[in-house]
Amino acid sequence: MTEFGRSLPRSVYDEGCIAAHALDMLGDRWAILVIRELMLGAKRFQMIRAGLPGISASVLTQRLEGLMAGGILRRTVLPDPAGVQLYELTELGRGTRPVIDALCRFGARLPGHDPTKFISPTALMLSMAAMVDRKAGKEMSFRAGFDIGRETFRGALVKGRWVPERGAPEGDAIFAGTANALAPVIYGARKVADWAGSGAVTITGDLSGAQRFVDLFRLT
């Protein structure tokens, strides 16, 4: 049993290997993506599901219960009058961040990636953090905000790393649009100035700085 009063799932692999032990917790379908959606902050059930449109409510409930049982995340309730139930990662859960970063970098090397399929706002922010050119990023100071529908983010280059957080979209440049519309702005070859007037996205602020910023990100 655990502090949550639930039994841990039975081992799938029945091995003493620590990698197999980790996969017993993280290897279930959707589990690592549920963790991804919480990596930048707590969310309500429906907000998690919005970032995972292929998951059913029942499967999401099962994954949340299992991850709580394993100490990966916890459930909290905001004080009245809100009384909203939230899910957030524990310190142990936040420790999966290098795993997600590594999966992003490895996935970028695999053939068959289809960027036209759904991308969640959090997934875009985390992919940028994984794929930034850290050497070139150390030469630049820049803050960017992202208004992505129901979710907003801001972030900064810190010693070559892209460090995003949830919050009001503030910065030297503000990017607005869906995650799928913004992904080719960040990773494509088209110039920022061309995107700014395209209608698919809105980019305001320092456009020359925004160009140098997006030049730091490549999927290849």
Domains of the chain: 18-95 (1.10.10.10), 100-214 (3.30.1050.10)
Say if residues 137 and 161 touch (Cβ distance below 8 Å): yes
pTM exceeding the 0.85 threshold for the entire prediction = yes
Per residue, what are the HEC states of the chain? CCCCCCCCCCCCCCCCCHHHHHHHHHCCCCHHHHHHHHCCCCECHHHHHHCCCCCCHHHHHHHHHHHHHCCCEEEEECCCCCCCEEEEECHHHHCCHHHHHHHHHHHHHCCCCCCCCCCCHHHHHHHHHHHECHHHHCCCCCEEEEEECCEEEEEEEECCEEEEEECCCCCCEEEECCHHHHHHHHHCCCCHHHHHCCCCCEEEECHHHHHHHHCCECCC
Query: Pairing state of beta strands 161-166 and 173-176?
Result: unpaired
Q: Contact, 67 vs 31, CB < 8 A?
A: yes
What is the pLDDT at residue 144?
98
Q: What is the pLDDT of residue 7?
A: 56
Q: Which residues of the chain have pLDDT under 70?
A: 1-10, 82
User: What is the predicted pLDDT for the residue at 1?
Assistant: 40
Percent pLDDT > 70 in the chain is 95
Q: Environment class of residue 4 by beta-carbon count within 10 Å: exposed (0-12), middle (13-18) or buried (19+)?
A: middle
